[in-house]
Amino acid sequence: MSERASESAPSRELLLATHAFPGEYIVKAFGPGTDEFRAQVHAVAAAVVGIARLQSTERATKSARRICITLVLAVDTVDEVIAVYHQIAGVDGLLMLL
């Protein structure tokens, strides 16, 4: 796991203590309001969990220069959550990952 992802992803122990698996998990990715950023975030999350287990919404700043993409993931295991964090952490332009 990259240093950037390990700083963003909750620990395995915390995830197991606070979430039931399988279940829903929410990830928020903040970055530039570009089509490229949107596409990359969706593509990497879908690569981990599959498009059928991914829902998303967006909120943009008033200027639309920045967006927050909220991903609702139907995950089977804690490893899928960690993998999504790892993949999104590598997206160009990412400002924050929650």
- The pTM of the full predicted model, rounded to 2 decimals, is 0.88
pLDDT at residue 7, as a whole number: 55
pLDDT at residue 8, as a whole number: 74
What total number of domains does the chain contain?
A: 1
pLDDT at residue 14, as a whole number: 94
CATH number at residue 72: 3.30.70.260
Of the candidates 85, 80, 82, 83, the one whose C-alpha atom is nearest the C-alpha of residue 98 is 85
Cα first-last separation, the chain: 17
Residue 3: pLDDT over 50: no
Q: Which range marks the domain in which residue 83 is found?
A: 3-97
pLDDT digits (tens, 9 = 90+) for 16-73: 999 999 999 999 999 999 999 999 999 999 999 999 999 999 999 999 999 999 999 9
pLDDT at residue 9, as a whole number: 84
